[in-house]
């Protein structure tokens, strides 16, 4: 869900620094964030709240290590739908939101309609998800699965330029 206020937000050097540091270290204290931005804590907190209210800061989360939690397999599933009518696309997206093992869902332009990032305990668990949920879903015409061998880069967010 996009926030219509995004385009109205004018970011200065301090805002960009705050966004950069929050994205890199979500648990940073306001005092440290203010120090890095070169301002005092009260105006820093006001800026953070304004960035949150504008929708530019969408939330905070902990990055978990999948393997110790039993998720040893990551698969990228390229999904083709039989119909690309907007109600059918929205119905598929709503269904994907109910599947906890799907961690990301991207609608694509081109031959593939959706790219899903799916985590599973093992290949057999993924195949069960594939056959009982994904390919069984209404309007799904085909799925092409690509097993991730390893991930060498997974940065959150966007690159934010800061002037040091």
> 50 and 76 share a domain?
no
> 95 and 49 share a domain?
no
Q: How many domains does the chain have?
A: 2
Inter-residue contact 106 to 76 (CB < 8 Å): no
- Considering the domain boundaries, does residue 60 fall inside one? no
pTM over 0.85? The answer is yes
Segment 99-128, tens digit of pLDDT = 999 999 999 999 999 999 999 999 999 999
- Considering the domain boundaries, does residue 16 fall inside one? yes
> 122 and 80 share a domain?
yes
For residue 2, pLDDT over 70 is answered with: no
What distance in Å separates the CA atoms of residue 162 and residue 164, rounded to the nearest whole number?
A: 6
- Considering the domain boundaries, does residue 156 fall inside one? no
- Considering the domain boundaries, does residue 116 fall inside one? yes
State the pLDDT at residue 75: 98
> 71 and 143 share a domain?
yes
> 75 and 125 share a domain?
yes
The phi and psi torsions of 112 (rounded to 5 degrees) equal: -95, 135
Segment 22-31, tens digit of pLDDT = 999 999 999 9
At 143, which CATH number?
A: 3.30.70.920
> 100 and 137 share a domain?
yes
Which residues span the domain enclosing 29? Answer: 11-54
For residue 4, pLDDT over 60 is answered with: no
Token pair of 52, please? 């949150």
> 104 and 143 share a domain?
yes
> 140 and 96 share a domain?
yes
State the pLDDT at residue 137: 98
- Three-state DSSP state, 133: helix
> 20 and 77 share a domain?
no
> How are strands ordered across the β-sheet holding 140-147?
102-107, 114-120, 73-81, 140-147
Segment 43-65, tens digit of pLDDT = 999 999 999 999 999 999 999 99
> 137 and 102 share a domain?
yes
Mean pLDDT along residues 133-157? 96
Beta bridge partners of 145: 77
Inter-residue contact 30 to 48 (CB < 8 Å): yes
Inter-residue contact 95 to 86 (CB < 8 Å): no
> 72 and 143 share a domain?
yes
């Amino acid at each position: 869900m996009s926030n219509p206020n995004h385009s109205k937000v004018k970011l200065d050097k301090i805002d960009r620094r705050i966004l950069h540091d929050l994205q890199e270290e979500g648990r940073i204290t306001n005092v440290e964030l203010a120090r890095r931005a070169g301002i005092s804590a009260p105006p820093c907190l006001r800026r953070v709240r304004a960035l949150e209210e504008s929708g530019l800061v969408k939330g905070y989360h902990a990055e978990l290590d999948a393997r110790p939690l039993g998720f040893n397999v990551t698969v990228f599933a390229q999904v083709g739908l039989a119909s690309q009518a907007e109600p059918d696309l929205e119905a598929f997206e709503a269904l994907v939101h109910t599947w906890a093992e799907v961690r990301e869902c991207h609608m694509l332009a081109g031959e593939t309609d959706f790219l899903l990032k799916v985590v599973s305990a093992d290949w057999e668990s993924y195949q069960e998800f594939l056959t009982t949920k994904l390919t069984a879903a209404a309007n799904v015409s085909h799925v092409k699965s690509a097993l991730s061998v390893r991930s060498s880069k997974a940065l959150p967010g966007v690159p934010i330029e800061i002037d040091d």
